[in-house]
Structure 1
């Protein structure tokens, strides 16, 4: 090979090695593919330099060479094997990284160690002309002795390889190993590191993790369970309690429709009955918030059911309901008694429209039991923006500023709703300006919530397949055929 820069092939090979080391340290670790390309190019040039110098990695260096040149040639030939092993290791990392993730280094390290071991044995056999069979026999005996000495450690290492290959969990997954629960922070050669809910670090040997039961709370990753148990008195009929629990479940919009949430009786005793509610949410981070919301909804639904059935209480159903409405708690007992006289109870079946969008409310509505869905019309469909339960009111816009309802209020389940007609309530509000101010604040809050929903652009599904391709190309063709400013119209 007559290359000017190969006039001194051994020196050229040494310079290429230095360039490789400098580039590998200089390039950012994130540019792994670029580093691999540079290393491949330098490895090819390094091989060409050795061949041009009369060297072959498959044969020993000629014995008649001068000592200095012989030593340099031997070192460079051994380096060729290690250089090739390192290049192959990087190639394996680039190929495997999309499959095992950027943090799954254990399997990569094991394969890299095997590659370097094979390269070292090959260099010893081909370049140094050592008796490889005797070396392998000696190393085998040493390996047996070391294996017996570090049997436990080797068990952890091979268990770690199995865990990385089968992938029962990955880094950032939330798992439970035996009775230890936490988030996977790292999987190294010997152990798996978990960050527990208390903020402490739990180190579990890989051999233990491979043999015991593993529960992965992050798989599948599109839904996560939320469960809670409630213990109630036996004086409440289970069928009525289950009905209230079902309404509370429907009142929580964050619970997924599939898998469907449910409420069941776990066990019954002489004094109490235990119920369990199970549902699913999209994000694990929302589990605590949804659980708290469910407790609040269950309390309100049960309170409404108990108030409706318990006639022995000195207070009326209307008074018990008014006590749960936030904007009406400021009223005195005398004012509340006057307001009760104008309350009229109405029953609505599921899907009944209580108040239509764009209609001026002629009454103030207060929900006693059930779940109400609030939706607005956008384009040609209805978008649900919220759900309401016992103790919530609507229709306040007709009293505050005389504007129509901003949404459609429809019964999501069977509902019992009180209404107070505008003719009865308007004169009464003139003497209670603080109540009118509270209704105005509620109206402003709902107006902002509706505006926020309207400002959100709808997500249009991108058609795929042949029809999507055809639509895109037809659109591109139509745009390209639009007449320009200089085109003549016929």
Structure 2
């Protein structure tokens, strides 16, 4: 009995018999906890528990407890399997901790997949070389020499493919673009979504364009995402020769400054470029916003040019006819308590105007010079919160009015945005003052509307803050 206790294998056998189940239970609890949290480390821990721990215990049992020679074939086989699984664990753990768990926008998230492939290949090659050299006693130097000669033969046979791989590496080492950048070549324009051994994948919006790396390395291209926060695109419009150029440029700048895609802090600029053409430069957050910003800009310019009496594409606006103005006055007559004679008297002073979907009829801080009465369409009042957000206050429909603070000459406290095409009838401040002078009840209605709107804005902002 004493001889067994003093034998070296005895303590190894006891340590393995006690330590293996304890470590197994511990790893099981850690794996369950990581899986409940959805952690990316759950898979590496599972690999450690199911394969590496049993293989390590088996290897120690053979070498230390049973005292089998390390040169024996069973020991070498178990050692090889153990090292291969450890190599897999290193690859899995590196991918989970460094790349899969990387935050959005970090360099680890943007790194091209080709670099990951190169790192994996290098790790596998070094691991295989160590296994062959230290476990099986292979002549690794001679093996690498043979592989070098073979690689020369394969390189000559596959020089086109290898050339694309080298071109891809050269492009990526120089890093003229990153994943997510917008580039433009002579044949394609889009966003870089993937770079692999052979080609760069570019999302054009209508499909995925596969561009060989050798073509990118040999040709010039434009990176619209560099430098960051400086992308600007231009839109060309045409107006009539009699339209005042300063008025046209001011109208274009006003429309562009209200685009939702406008880059924060950016300032649009418009210039006459000769003939009847005008160019508007619009700074946006990303090239991805170009199409949406251009479509919205051209749609809003169509409405804004007609409101300003300008002639987009040299077209005449025949919307504001006396008959249509008269019908519009009949719609808002109940709101203003108008008789037929009073409506007829207002006819020469009323103006019809149209606004496009999502266009702003008024902005917080504006001091209105006229009141607007909704003839058709719907308008949403919006208020700004302390944190810079926007909350809905109420929706206005036909018969409702805006710009009631024109009488008090106070700035408006809510923005008004069209939910669809909206037609409004404008009445200047002088006409409204004449009406309320003859109709004190109308002044009470407008004053009550001012107070109600302020209460609605306060309530909406307070609700959003809570």
Per-residue deviation at 1:141? 0.2
Are 1:375 and 1:408, in contact at CA under 8 Å, matched by a contact in 2?
Answer: no
CA distance in 1, matches of 2:210, 2:384: 54
How far has the Cα of 1:62 moved from its partner? Answer: 5.1
- CA gap of 1:417–1:115, structure 2 versus 1, over 3 A, is same
Aligned to 2:276: 273
Could you tell which deviates more after superposition, 165-174 or 108-117?
A: 165-174
Q: Which residue of 2 aligns with 1:91?
A: 93
1:298 to 2:312 alignment: no
Cα RMSD (Å) of the superposition? Answer: 5.6
Q: 1:279 to 1:104 in 2, by over 3 A?
A: same
Q: 1:458 to 1:135 in 2, by over 3 A?
A: same
Residues 1:54 and 2:63 aligned together: yes
Looking at structure 2, the residues matched to 327 and 286 of structure 1 have their Cα atoms a distance apart, in angstroms, of: 38
Q: 2:432 aligns with which of 421, 438, 442?
A: 421
Cα deviation per residue 1:230-287 (whole Å; 9 max; x = unaligned)?
Answer: 1233333433322222333345465345222111233x1xxx3321112234476665
- Equivalent residue for 1:353, pick from 367, 374, 378: 367
Alpha-carbon distance in structure 1 between the residues aligned to 2:53 and 2:291: 58
Are positions 1:242 and 2:249 aligned together?
Answer: yes
In the TM superposition, residue 145 of structure 1 has moved relative to its aligned partner by: 1.0
| In structure 2, C-alpha distance between the alignment counterparts of 1:124 and 1:377, rounded to whole Å | 69
Cα distance 1:118–1:293, how it changes in 2: closer, same or farther (>3 A)?
closer
SS at match of 1:457: helix
Say if 1:166 and 1:335 are closer, same or farther in 2 by CA, change over 3 A.
Answer: farther
What aligned pairs does 1:400-479 form with structure 2 within 5 A after superposition? 407-408=412-413, 418-419=428-429, 420-421=431-432, 424=435, 454=461, 457-458=464-465
Are the structure 2 counterparts of residues 76 and 397 from structure 1 closer, same or farther at C-alpha, using a change threshold of 3 Å?
same
Q: Note closer, same or farther for the CA distance 1:395–1:192 as it changes in structure 2 (3 Å cut).
A: closer
Q: 1:193 to 1:292 in 2, by over 3 A?
A: closer
Q: Could you tell me how far apart the structure 1 residues matched to 2:92 and 2:37 are? A: 12
Which residue does 1:151 correspond to in 2? 159
Q: How far apart are the structure 1 equivalents of 2:89 and 2:262?
A: 50
CA distance in 2, matches of 1:144, 1:163: 23
> What is the CA–CA distance in structure 1 between the aligned matches of 2:384 and 2:140, rounded to whole Å?
80
Which structure 2 residues correspond to residues 57-206 of structure 1 after superposition, within 5 A?
Answer: 70-97=72-99, 98=102, 99-101=107-109, 104-161=112-169, 168-171=176-179, 173-198=181-206, 200-206=207-213
Q: 2:346 aligns with which of 339, 349, 357?
A: 339
| Distance (Å, rounded) in 2 between the aligned partners of 1:322 and 1:216 | 54
Measured at CA, do residues 321 and 230 of structure 1 come closer, stay the same or move farther in structure 2, by a change above 3 Å? farther
Q: Which deviations, in whole Å up to 9, do the C-alpha atoms of 1:194-234 show, x marking residues without a partner? A: 33333x33211233234444445566776864532112333
Whole-angstrom CA distance in 2 between matches of 1:381 and 1:80: 57
CA distance in 1, matches of 2:150, 2:203: 38
Structure 2, unaligned stretches of length 5 or more? Answer: 1-8, 333-340, 352-364, 375-380, 394-399, 416-425, 440-445
- TM-score of the superposition, structure 1-length normalised? 0.57
Offset at residue 180 of structure 1 (A):
1.0
| Structure 2 equivalent of residue 462 of structure 1 | none
Aligned equivalents of 1:249 and 1:323: distance in 2? Answer: 30
Q: Secondary structure at the match of 1:93?
A: helix
- C-alpha displacement of 1:405: 9.6
In 1, Cα distance between equivalents of 2:148 and 2:179: 35
TM-score by length of structure 2 reads 0.60
- Matched with 2:357 is none
Which SS does the other structure have where 2:136 is aligned? coil
Paired residues of 1:186 and 1:194 also in contact (CA < 8 A): yes
Q: How far apart are residue 142 of structure 1 and its match?
A: 0.5
Give the whole-Å Cα distance in 2 for the aligned partners of 1:155 and 1:7.
53
Give the structure 2 partner of residue 401 of structure 1: none
**Residues 31 and 164 of structure 1: is their aligned pair in 2 closer, same or farther, counting only changes over 3 Å?**
farther
State how far apart, in whole Å, the 1-side matches of 2:456 and 2:284 are: 23
Secondary structure of residue in 2 paired with 1:194: strand
Q: CA deviation at 1:135?
A: 1.6
Classify the secondary structure of the residue corresponding to 2:117. Answer: helix
The 3 A distance-change label for structure 1 pair 261 and 322 is farther
State how far apart, in whole Å, the 1-side matches of 2:16 and 2:402 are.
93
Please tell me whether the aligned partners of residues 237 and 279 of structure 2 are also in contact (alpha carbons under 8 angstroms).
Answer: yes
